Amino acid sequence: MKKRLKIRQKILIYILGTTVVLYMVSMGYVLTTSRKTIYNDAIAKTELSAKVSAGKVEGVFEKNLSLVRTLSQAFTVYQDMPFEEWKKLFTEMYMPVLRENTDFYSIWDSWEYKYFRPGYDKDYGRFCITTLRENNQLKWLYEDRSMDGDPPIYGAFKRNGIESIWEPYLDQGTAGKAEQKLMITYSSPVYVNKEFAGGIAIDVTLDDLQDMITKIKPFEGSYAYLVSNTGIIAAHPNKEYIYKKVSDLFPEEEKEQNILAHIAKGKEFNYIKTDSTGNKILICYAPIIAGKIKTPWALVLSAPLSIITAQAQKTIWISLLVSISGLLIMVIVLLFVSNNLVKPIKKITNVLKLIAKGEISDDLNVKVNSGDEIEEMSLALNTSIEGLNHKTNFANEIGKGNYTSYLELLSDKDVLGKSLIHMRDSLKQAAGEEEQRKVEDQKRSWANEGHAKFGEILRQNNSNLQQLCDKVIAELVKYVGANQGGIFLWNDEDKSHQYFELISAFAWDRKKYITKQLEKGEGLVGACALEKETIFMTDVPDDYVNITSGLGEANPRCVILVPLKHEDNVLGVIEMASFKVLDNHEVDFIEKIAESIASTILSVKVNARTKMLLEQSQMQAEEMKAQEEEMRQNMEELQATQEEVERKSGEIEKFMTSIHNSAYVVEYDLGGNIINVNDAFIKMVGIAREQIIGGHHSDNLVLNDVQKKEYGNFWDGLKSGLTRKVKSTITINSRNIELLETYIPIKDNEGKVVKVMKLAFEQEEFK
């Protein structure tokens, strides 16, 4: 025979036993997973510290790259200036930058001769302007470089054509000293017509970065160091490691972890190694990618694993101790609760048995003060008993025809209560619907009478716009029971100044002539016209409008603005204010009447405009006759002017023919390239036209540095519009010909020099 257990016995056996087993299993699982989670969190915290530190270094890189990028972009603004001017301007720009940034060693720029020296066609060869700091003084140098080919570092920068951070290098200026400075270079290219034309660069010492890296110690025993894209250590607390490669210092780690490949890809990674004392060290690599560079660096954070996980281990032991204490407390609490549960449950069970037999009275109320769910059960039971008594009384009142009686539901799921209320509401609704039908009939009758009334007003006043608006606003204010109103019409007679004009206003049986103009979109009137929708306000600002009556002034309770629309075209706006709040059917009525008013206003305007146009057409016909006579006279003057232009054009053509017959004529573009020659020049040099066209003015000229500068000034003067006269000697078939040459800049209609014409005469002819 199966043994029946009491509630207290079931709590102790089932709940307590199961709780202990589950508690032990769950705590074992939690402690195991917590250990792993805490370990991972410690690594994540270290990675985050590495990222934050890398972000600081990246900020330094980004700041310097932004500066050099700004300098390179500035060139695109000044590239059309004469060479000497922008060279001086850039030098003056570099000086304050070096003064403000003491860690900057020098700022230099490099410019390809291919784009800055006429006739230079080699892919190498450049000139550099360097502003540097030497013995606490700022100096600048100008020098030619790469005349025999580009060096490897500059050549790579030139090929890549993007901003970059060069690998660390020892400053040549400190060579032979006890301590050489470690430098890096920030560079940014300059493009002309989408082709590489040069670059701007800043040479910076790594002293500031060394100080920053040395101070990075987020954990006890931790330190950080900076590694370049190719694995060179640029900053390290141990200065013996600086300017050495990771692959040389840690060859086994580099081979196992593939460190250099990860740095080159800008990848974040970490690993754990064991040092010489047997302690485990966490190594975290955080990438540094600044600006548009494609050569990421990395910040490395080294932290003892025992230090970063020490707090986590302590937390696990404390959690285990707290768990055991909690289990003991739970056993004691369950024993106490089981005793307090059984007694009130017996009381409630006895009452439920009586209710099941149909007995309901206030004597059945159960009093339990346990403060828990048992007390809630007793209160719910008492509420049910009280609710049944109320429903009985409510049903008796409905039976007597009292539809206003009230029944409070026990809850949203009180089915019996809802059924009784539904029965009451159905009976009450039947009486209310009859009353509502009477109200709706009155509203429809009011609206129909209004439409008939205003239809008659519009028909009787369709010949005068002012009279129509006066009559409409006066009758509309009275009919809807408002207090005052006005009609604003769109005035578009002056196309340069269009506005809404208050054409008619009405208030308390007397017309108020007020001059008022509003721009489109101004105020509520402009907003109503712009949105083409009714604006209905019941919360009217105190300073919006005052209604004046025999009792004084007061603020209206509602304001309505209705657009006067005809086929989506707003002709004006009706605005009314009232002490009473208008009903929906009154608002609908005003909107429908507004459509009829707009249509009538449009008709009145069209009729008035048609009459005006007829009068204007008569006046214009007379003006046309006068204009025809004036046009005939202008045509005769124009014909005479055309004959004069043809005569002068012939004279110019003869003049140019004389020049070509008497002089050697050569035309150049602004770059000094020959674009045309006359027949006399071809005959003199004895070379075919095709071989001459495309040649450069400086061909066959051998110039020293001074002559090159004078030659450049000569062409700069021509480009600025100055005429030049020179003597030259050419040798043709062993014959020396001395020429007197005049270089004339040719300008377009806007005064801009577009080409240069040379007129040459043999000096012998002048003798």
Under the banding of pLDDT at 50, 70 and 90, the label for residue 513 is very low
Mean pLDDT of the chain: 80
pLDDT at 551: 41
Domains parsed from the chain with CATH numbers: 10-67+206-350 (3.30.450.20), 79-205 (3.30.450.20), 361-436 (no CATH), 461-613 (3.30.450.40), 663-766 (3.30.450.20)
pLDDT tens digits for range 83-99: 666 666 777 777 888 88
d(CA 427, CA 429): 6
Determine the Cα angle at 38 with ends 35 and 39, to 5°. 85
Enter the tokens of residue 250.
């840690």
Under the banding of pLDDT at 50, 70 and 90, the label for residue 141 is confident
Under the banding of pLDDT at 50, 70 and 90, the label for residue 609 is confident
pLDDT at residue 599 greater than cutoff 80 = yes
State mean pLDDT over 400-421: 74
d(CA 298, CA 268): 9
Under the banding of pLDDT at 50, 70 and 90, the label for residue 511 is very low
Least confident of 218-232, 329-343, 449-463, 751-765: 329-343
Other C-beta atoms lying within 10 Å of the C-beta of residue 515: 6
The most confident of 216-230, 500-514, 616-630, by mean pLDDT: 216-230
State mean pLDDT over 726-750: 83
pLDDT at residue 758 greater than cutoff 70 = yes
pLDDT at residue 335 greater than cutoff 80 = no
Under the banding of pLDDT at 50, 70 and 90, the label for residue 431 is low
Which residues have C-beta within 8 Å of that of residue 594, sequence separation ≥ 6? 562, 563, 564, 565, 574
d(CA 649, CA 139): 60
Exposed/middle/buried for 14, CB within 10 Å: 0-12, 13-18, 19+?
A: exposed
pLDDT at 560: 92
d(CA 479, CA 294): 80
φ, ψ for residue 139, nearest 5 deg: -130, 165
Under the banding of pLDDT at 50, 70 and 90, the label for residue 233 is very high
Under the banding of pLDDT at 50, 70 and 90, the label for residue 284 is very high
pLDDT at 358: 67
pLDDT at 563: 92
- What percent of the chain has a predicted confidence (pLDDT) above 90? 10
Exposed/middle/buried for 411, CB within 10 Å: 0-12, 13-18, 19+?
A: exposed
378 half-sphere exposure, CB direction, 13 A CA radius: 19
SS3 labels along 219-274: CCCCEEEEECCCCEEEECCCHHHCCCEHHHHCHHHHHHHCHHHHHHCCCCEEEEEE
The most confident of 12-21, 71-80, 104-113, by mean pLDDT: 104-113
State mean pLDDT over 718-733: 83
The most confident of 170-174, 481-485, 627-631, by mean pLDDT: 481-485
pLDDT tens digits for range 185-211: 999 998 878 888 888 899 898 888 899
pLDDT at 510: 45
pLDDT tens digits for range 468-485: 888 889 889 989 888 889
Asked if residue 572 lies in contact with residue 564, where contact means CB atoms within 8 angstroms, the answer is yes
Q: Give the gyration radius of the chain's Cα atoms.
A: 50
pLDDT at residue 566 greater than cutoff 50 = yes
pLDDT at residue 158 greater than cutoff 60 = yes
pLDDT at 1: 45
Q: Give the C-alpha distances (Å, rounded to integers) separating 82 from 46, 125, 459, 718.
A: 56, 20, 80, 13
Between 361 and 158, whose confidence is greater? 158
pLDDT at residue 245 greater than cutoff 50 = yes
Asked if residue 7 lies in contact with residue 348, where contact means CB atoms within 8 angstroms, the answer is no
pLDDT at residue 280 greater than cutoff 50 = yes
Q: For strand 484-491 and strand 735-747, is the pairing parallel, antiparallel, or unpaired?
A: unpaired
pLDDT tens digits for range 56-78: 999 999 988 888 888 888 776 65
SS3 labels along 408-421: CCCCCCCHHHHHHH
Between 587 and 180, whose confidence is greater? 587
Asked if residue 517 lies in contact with residue 499, where contact means CB atoms within 8 angstroms, the answer is yes
State mean pLDDT over 165-180: 68
pLDDT at residue 175 greater than cutoff 50 = no
